[in-house]
Amino acid sequence: MTYKTSKIFTSSDKKNRSASVLMIYTGGTLGMVYDTKSKSLVPFDFDQILINVPELKRLEFELTILTLPKPIDSSNIKPETWIELAAIVRDNFEQFDAFVILHGTDTMAYTASALSFLLENLSKPVILTGAQLPIGIARTDARENLITALEIASAEINGRPVVPEVAVYFNSYLLRGNRAKKKESSQFNAFRSENYPALAEVGVTIDFNFPFIMPFRPDLPLVVHEKLEEQVMILKLFPGINQAMVHNLLSTEGLRGVVLETYGAGNAPSDEWFLEELHQATKRGIVIVNVSQCDGGRVLQGHYQTSSKLKSIGIISGSDITTEAAITKLMFLLGQETEPERVKYRMEQSICGEMS
């Protein structure tokens, strides 16, 4: 596929340029400006980014911007988009020191989680960011998010990247990509990471939380995976859910995996019909992962009687994984493995810091 690229020199002094960053624009609120003719928000031309964000001229790195052929509203993001983004990183991996992906906020946590699995042995920063308000609005958060994400991506110590992993930067916090969740639609602090500390907190300075950042492993070659299984779904429990609903969902033709959102520490109804429906599904080879509906805490499967029965029929614990990471991890593993038991085993192991 052919992409439009634009090289932007953010510093007039070539000697001061310490890194090269590829910024990938997928779409989303950040890249919008107000068009006075149509009186609506439209994507702006990233060739003119220094006009919209003149502060970039003070940053000491070389910036190249790649835009997808057609901006994508993040509600329309699909697994094929994740594979495309991973391929862009792969194809440009040797040419650039870091990558920043501009993305709509609604599904950013899903994309960050998926990329963390697709980009195996990642040794360079891949930072996702976006905005709650368009860059063309006076009170926008887009400029700060964009500039800081670029600064973090280009940050090095002794020639090594500070954050060699997939992360989300938003409103003063850098979060591990597969630990982030969108929590706000009307406030600037849109993302949280309840079960894992922030990788950095940004104020007057950028304070990196080094013990919690992935180690730099340049000895391992980057492996970019190209397959995700889309025959998966999320089943969220609620009081009053009935057998017909559960049966119809679990009987979906071709279904291979389910993220089961349970209560509290992984608890679920103890009705015989419910357990039997799940048991029959696991016997058909469907992999079912128990994830808590709570944002904080973790699944302690077997701690209470209502969850011990899930364990006995082959439901696996998702520990403290987010729903976004669980569904994308399930897509990833089902795309790599053919045996359900192998998928179950790997679902309970941390691949890239997505669970404790």
Hey, CA dihedral for 80, 102, 205, 183, is it positive or negative? negative
Q: Give the whole-angstrom CA distance, residue 335 versus residue 314.
A: 21
Instruction: Please report, as a single letter, which amino acid is at residue 320.
Output: D
Q: Is 140 a catalytic residue?
A: no
Look at strands 200-202 and 181-182 and give their pairing: unpaired
Extract the runs of DSSP E, i.e. beta strands, from 130-256. Answer: 156-157, 160-161, 166-170, 173-176, 181-182, 191-192, 200-202, 206-208, 223-224, 232-236
Residue 14 gets the label, from left (phi > 0), alpha (psi -120 to 50) or beta, of: alpha
Q: Give the whole-angstrom CA distance, residue 349 versus residue 332.
A: 13
Q: Give the whole-angstrom CA distance, residue 119 versus residue 114.
A: 9
Q: Give the whole-angstrom CA distance, residue 182 versus residue 46.
A: 26
Instruction: Please report, as a single letter, which amino acid is at residue 165.
Output: E
Q: Specify which residues 66 forms β-bridges with.
A: 5, 24
Asked if residues 195 and 291 have their Cβ atoms less than 8 Å apart, the reply is no
Residue 321's SS3 state is coil
Catalytic residue, from 29, 111, 262, 282: name it.
29
Q: Give the whole-angstrom CA distance, residue 153 versus residue 19.
A: 9
CA distances from 116 to 131, 200, 204, 326 (A): 21, 18, 29, 12
The Cβ of residue 11 has, within 10 Å, a number of other Cβ atoms equal to 17
Instruction: Give the residue numbers annotated as catalytic, written as ranges.
Output: 29
